[in-house]
Each structure stands twice: as structure tokens, then as C-alpha cells.
Amino acid sequence: MDGLMLDSKKAWNDAETRFVESCGKEFQPEVGKKYHGLRVQGMVEVMIREYQLPLTQKEGEKRLRQYAKENFAKPSLKLLPGCKRLVEDLSASGRYAMAVASSASVELVQAVVERFAFTNYFQALVSGEEVQNGKPAPDVFLRAAELLKVEPMSCLVLEDVPNGIKAAKAAGMLAIAVSSHPYYPMESFEDADKFVKSLEELNVATIAELFGK
């Protein structure tokens, strides 16, 4: 969801920076690379360890969630180019059931879907906090497939970070990497079945091609 559907980079960067600075430390982008695509639990674990923060895991998760929640409520939060059109077109085709399977919290996933009027387009919403293991483990995608009542091998995942692609492939699914992030050049997504820089490059026909239909 984040970085794929939603232009939430600034929202998360600001939350992470505020989190680190609230503990008297200076935010380091290189540390951020170590937890991209992880659940809040994993993000906080990395930040406490790397920055040597004087926080408990529980305190850290509560604080980071609150900062992110505040930023996600701001009017400046927008969908990424091509997202709304692709979701609407795939739904209108009548060929695909769709789910949001994100590392974000249940609260954030639901808030985003409702805010951008996507409620009727997605048949399932899954948060990484609802499964035992976060990405790159396949749990969140396998749970989405279960809720959609489809076999994993019949699923296609769109992801913007390498950990997400690894999770999709571990689940036995097709995967498209969608990324223009400087941290992650095309070589970072060697396991993906297809690589594009924007959702604007995808449509019903390109999706069908991957399924051989």
C-alpha cells in the first residue's frame, strides 16, 4: 500500500524522523533502508537497535503509530499516479478479485481504503499485524489469497520493495515490482516477474499477459 498505491513517503519519513529525534538522535536514511517494507514492529526493532534508543519495544511502537496516524490524516496525502485508474479498470473488467495486503496497521489500511473510496473495489484487507510473520515471509499474501478463496498460484502481487517481492514469490505467486525509488534499482527486484517504474505502465491487458490470458 505505502509507496505503491499511496504517495506516503513523506508521511512515513516525517514520522520516522520525528520518532528518532524525540529520542535525541539524528535520522539516518541508510538505517531506513534496513526496515523498508517491514511492519511497525520490525521498524521499531531496527530503530531501537541501530540508534540505541532508550525505549521499550511497546513504547516505540505506540509512538511511531501515533506519528504515522497524524501524518496520514493530512490533506496532502495523495494516491500515486495510475493507482485509481488501474484499480477501477481491473474491477470493471470483472476478471479479478482484489485485496490490499500491507505491512501497515489495520487502522491505517482501513483509513486509506475509506478515504479514497476504494471500499467497493477490494474484497479483502489484510494487515501484516494480523499474521504471525511479516514480509519477507509470505503470511500476509497467503492470508489474502485465503480470504479471496483463490489458490496462491493464481495470484499476482504488486509490490514496491524487495522484501515484498520476496514475500510474494515465497507464497508461490506472480509478482510485479513497481518502483522508481533510488534505493531500489531494477537489480534489487531480480525475483520479480516484471518491473515497471509506475502504475501508469500497467493496465488490464498487461496484467492478463502475465497470466497468459
pLDDT in tens, 1-29: 888 999 888 888 999 999 999 999 999 99
Specify the length of the chain in residues. 213
Annotation: CATH topology of 9-72: DNA polymerase; domain 1 (1.10.150)
- Residues 120, 126, 131, CA angle at the centre, nearest 5°? 165
Residues 104 and 127 sit within 8 Å (Cβ to Cβ): yes
Q: pLDDT tens digit string along 168-209?
A: 999 999 999 999 877 788 888 999 999 999 999 999 999 999
Tens of pLDDT, residues 151-174: 999 999 999 989 999 999 999 999
pLDDT of residue 213: 56
Residue 211 sits at φ, ψ, to 5 deg, of -85, -5
Q: Is the pTM of this model over 0.95?
A: no
Do residues 88 and 62 make contact, with C-beta atoms less than 8 angstroms apart? no
Reading the block at residue 188, the C-alpha cell is 534489487
Instruction: Tell me the domain boundaries of the chain.
Output: 9-72, 83-210
What's residue 183's pLDDT?
75
Architecture of domain 83-210: 3-Layer(aba) Sandwich (3.40)
